[in-house]
A and B are shown apart, each in its own frame.
Chain A
């Protein structure tokens, strides 16, 4: 089994909400001071899904990250978790893309890799929360796709996927090769082991530029967008929290109930 996993570098979504600030001129999220970029937590579930398949089937896992300003120690995390290879589509021209230009570049890189049975992505990335790149790669490569997987079993050239639905899950069988996006219901991704970290440290990622995957800079990144970002903003919530006080937690609790009654919320 050759599995490809797409992994994005994002601003740490676990950073305190108050630290997220928008650059007023650029319509961009400013990386909060002291907050390091991380491997997108949703993509980590995809890496974990790939590792679970490899645990059973054997094979090779290739991680791909795309962007400008990729932090080498950080994007190596899939290697430290157990992936075999890392490809970086690292160039200024890949930056500021939308789902279209990102899926196109990833699709072209995967085409160049050629030998694959399964392509995994996170259900969405925790910066733009779009959840579209998996479907896009499938369309560009002419592959079937299944989204929101919480479990993947491989048998006889097919994947059996438990797909999360609005009121439970469904079991979908899809022929391989296919694109599958992985949801957080899969369960916690494993930690990198010390050995894994040592291996990752010695491993050099393969770096591809736009020309290496046969794409023009007009088709990728900001230039290749099909949607335009008009504005990025942070709505301010009016009003404030009415905190119930008391000499003890119990008394405060009683006062809270009374306040809610008064406000007709109870």
Chain B
């Protein structure tokens, strides 16, 4: 194993720039690489992505590997696993980190199995054990009811990291680094899946992941109509509306509004949970919020164990009064 060295970040690109998760990974990877006294590298995979190598360096990478090929226009496992297996065999990193995104959660396990190593998905903390120099991979398990620390004794140690769990470094455009091109060498006939269409389901207004204030509703809201009142409060607070899983499963709101382990991970300044019991899988998605406020009629609801502020009462009575007081306070 001695020949494996360094930390490699799989950087994702969206709308012509590095995705936020990628800068977060570079921030986390920089620390791991420094703790090991090794290099931090990034890899960019796609079509027409070469121009972003400089950006990865500015956010902390010492070296950037680029695999740029028209066959890599869309993500799918066959081509990406094979390309990344080739990259890993050439770069031989001790650690490979990806984002817990729709790409990373698919690519990381596929690659781990291809390479005969193990991956830990959805990590919220990564650290180097000072004795063994192995990476401790901490991730929520049992729907957020516990956390587990994993290690893997084969290289590369692969982990995916949850959005907003790590902090990016300040961008430094003066930072120097090396850019290395790797050929994809793909055989088009060996790709057994292809993307026919990509559909964005954007909600109007502020994006959940970027909102400073989120007003979320749960099963207790009782139907689509109730969410109109949450929208009103969100509008006053210049925030976004979210939901726990039951309103999505029941079709009261779009699936894209779901906050939780299987939905969006958010970390706003203010998270107002209305009629949400606080299942661990939901808490997983909002526990990074600076202030959590619970409005629920059940004083025993788990949400009160997570919230910083709360009111015990029927939301139908609490919310209108709360909304009008908020409007008044903000007008002052």
Interface residues of chain A, those whose CB is within 8 Å of chain B, are 11, 13-14, 16-18, 20, 22, 29, 98-100, 103, 123, 126-132, 134-136, 138-140, 144-148, 150, 160, 163-175, 178, 183-185, 187-188, 225-235, 237, 239, 241-244, 246, 248-261, 263, 265-266
B225 in the interface (beta carbon within 8 A): no
Stretch in B30-38, B48-56, B148-156, B216-224 with 4+ CB within 8 Å of A: B148-156
Question: Which listed residue (A16, A130, A168, A232) contacts B199, Cβ 8 A?
Answer: A168
A17-B310 in contact given A237-B305, A260-B293 (Cβ < 8 Å): no
21 A-B pairs in the complex with CB atoms less than 8 angstroms apart: A99-B109, A103-B113, A127-B142, A129-B142, A140-B113, A145-B77, A147-B105, A168-B199, A178-B193, A226-B116, A227-B151, A230-B149, A242-B309, A242-B310, A249-B318, A249-B321, A253-B313, A257-B322, A263-B291, A265-B269, A265-B270
B100 (CB) vs chain A CBs: closest residue: A131
The smallest C-beta distance from A152 to any residue of chain B, in angstroms, reads 13
Are B117 and A148 in contact, CB atoms less than 8 angstroms apart?
A: no
Are A17 and B329 in contact, CB atoms less than 8 angstroms apart?
A: no
Chain A residues near B261: list those with CB within 8 A.
Answer: 129
Are A250 and B118 in contact, CB atoms less than 8 angstroms apart?
A: no
Of A126, A241, A244, chain B has the most CB atoms within 10 Å of the CB of A241
Are B146 and A20 in contact, CB atoms less than 8 angstroms apart?
A: yes
Give complex CA distance A99, B305 in Å.
32
Are B317 and A146 in contact, CB atoms less than 8 angstroms apart?
A: no
Are B109 and A250 in contact, CB atoms less than 8 angstroms apart?
A: no
Are A174 and B196 in contact, CB atoms less than 8 angstroms apart?
A: no
Chain A residues near B69: list those with CB within 8 A.
Answer: none
Question: Which listed residue (A17, A226, A230, A232) contacts B279, Cβ 8 A?
Answer: A17
Are A249 and B291 in contact, CB atoms less than 8 angstroms apart?
A: no
Chain A residues near B322: list those with CB within 8 A.
Answer: 253-254, 256-257
The smallest C-beta distance from B237 to any residue of chain A, in angstroms, reads 8
Chain B residues near A129: list those with CB within 8 A.
Answer: 121-122, 139-143, 261
Of A230, A232, A259, chain B has the most CB atoms within 10 Å of the CB of A230
Chain B residues near A231: list those with CB within 8 A.
Answer: 148-149
Are A241 and B121 in contact, CB atoms less than 8 angstroms apart?
A: no
Give complex CA distance A230, B245 in Å.
31
Number of A-B residue pairs having CB atoms within 8 Å of each other in the complex: 265
A228 (CB) vs chain B CBs: closest residue: B151
The smallest C-beta distance from B259 to any residue of chain A, in angstroms, reads 14
Give complex CA distance A169, B120 in Å.
25
The smallest C-beta distance from B141 to any residue of chain A, in angstroms, reads 5
Are A243 and B310 in contact, CB atoms less than 8 angstroms apart?
A: yes
B47 in the interface (beta carbon within 8 A): no
Are B193 and A146 in contact, CB atoms less than 8 angstroms apart?
A: yes
B17 in the interface (beta carbon within 8 A): no
Are A100 and B330 in contact, CB atoms less than 8 angstroms apart?
A: no
The smallest C-beta distance from A49 to any residue of chain B, in angstroms, reads 15
B181 in the interface (beta carbon within 8 A): no
Are B109 and A241 in contact, CB atoms less than 8 angstroms apart?
A: no
| Size class of the B contact interface (CB-based, 8 Å) | 35 or more
Are B109 and A148 in contact, CB atoms less than 8 angstroms apart?
A: no
Are A164 and B192 in contact, CB atoms less than 8 angstroms apart?
A: no
| Closest A-B pairs by Cβ, 5 of them | A132-B109, A139-B113, A249-B313, A227-B118, A249-B317
Question: Which listed residue (B149, B192, B201, B304) contacts A243, Cβ 8 A?
Answer: B304
Give complex CA distance A237, B289 in Å.
13
B229 in the interface (beta carbon within 8 A): no
Chain B residues near A136: list those with CB within 8 A.
Answer: 109, 113
Chain B residues near A171: list those with CB within 8 A.
Answer: 195-199
Question: Which listed residue (B120, B141, B304) contacts A241, Cβ 8 A?
Answer: B304
Are B325 and A126 in contact, CB atoms less than 8 angstroms apart?
A: no
Question: Which listed residue (A167, A225, A239, A253) contacts B321, Cβ 8 A?
Answer: A253
Question: Which listed residue (B121, B192, B280, B302) contacts A174, Cβ 8 A?
Answer: B192
Are B325 and A226 in contact, CB atoms less than 8 angstroms apart?
A: no
Give complex CA distance A165, B255 in Å.
12
Are A230 and B150 in contact, CB atoms less than 8 angstroms apart?
A: yes
A174-B193 in contact given A132-B119, A148-B106, A257-B329 (Cβ < 8 Å): yes
Interface set, chain B 201-229, CB cutoff 8 A to A: 201-202
The smallest C-beta distance from A121 to any residue of chain B, in angstroms, reads 11
